[in-house]
Structure 1
């Protein structure tokens, strides 16, 4: 498979540089104007994230350029909107990559890689975790301090609350933990990271739906998993007890 455009696999979901896609599509329009018009209908921090990239100028100095990390789904949509043979070719390239990404061999390889990273991190954090464990006793004090919120929050916000409570876990690791323990759906596809039947029956999550209008007039439903007040109290107490 020809490497038409670099794809970053270091994040939870593969991403593509908007500047790389702009160059690969051979767009003559200025990058900033092109991205502004093509990003309409997409949600920042969900479909794309603003980043700065470095480039070397004539005198050898580094210059920072505005760039965006886009989801592969967003990149495919932009390719389709380009209505060019190049766009069609790159879109098919992304589709082929997705097939390879979801083969059993690749899924197993990613699981092993994640496990290795987790083991290495746990080794370096062992002493700190033991200290935190002692500092947080008795756990009942923390549990009593957690008040169920009336408002549902994003899983990323729950990770921040856990961090404040002494649980060293980020958004990606929390998503992984919730999937591994049967609270979120692991299967890749439209239902990925949606609540399982078990967790919905327990009242731990709710799903927020939003209708997004694309530049071509079509619409799509954006589903977002949120942690209910009951779920916030449940997971905070559960993770505190396990620490």
Structure 2
């Protein structure tokens, strides 16, 4: 069957453009006058609804104009009301379109298509939930690492969790306003001091003269590692175990 007028199917309802129908019927009166004379017997929101469409301009551009989306039933009645040969032709075409639409096999096909679409949507939602769960598990796994290591750790060990060396990681913590350097030693900013985030252990070493010496060295507690994790996460810095670009 040759297409006389374009049929759209939003939300499983067949609709036609009033302007397309008006043009096809080859009516002599203005479109706006045709609408005012013939639409009074129909209910907006049930039989038709106002829409906007674009029309080509002589200069090559386009501009929006008012149109109406008509149900097949309303379009058939407008064809009948036109009392023209074109009206008969278009009404016959729309009746055939409607007949095919209501054919039991077509109804089954549409139902199957709807189920397929819903199934696809469900799969996408499940995939998103799986991704969210995986991300949640990743986060939990790193926190488990922290909770499972009660001993205080040197910054070198924590830096390795993030793919940094100790020197660069200390600078990162400084940039994140966690610590600053005083007399060559990294010290927490005042807001974090005295809250159990760090502890001090003696670091023993042999100097260039062969003399054994000892100096205090900062170690991070489990609570301190959690502080680092939370602050760096807010700055979009994640441990390797949580980074999506790391397999």
Give TM-score scaled by structure 2 length.
0.49
Q: Which has the larger radius of gyration?
A: 2
More relative contact order, 1 or 2 (CA 8 Å, 6+ apart): 1
Give TM-score scaled by structure 1 length.
0.50
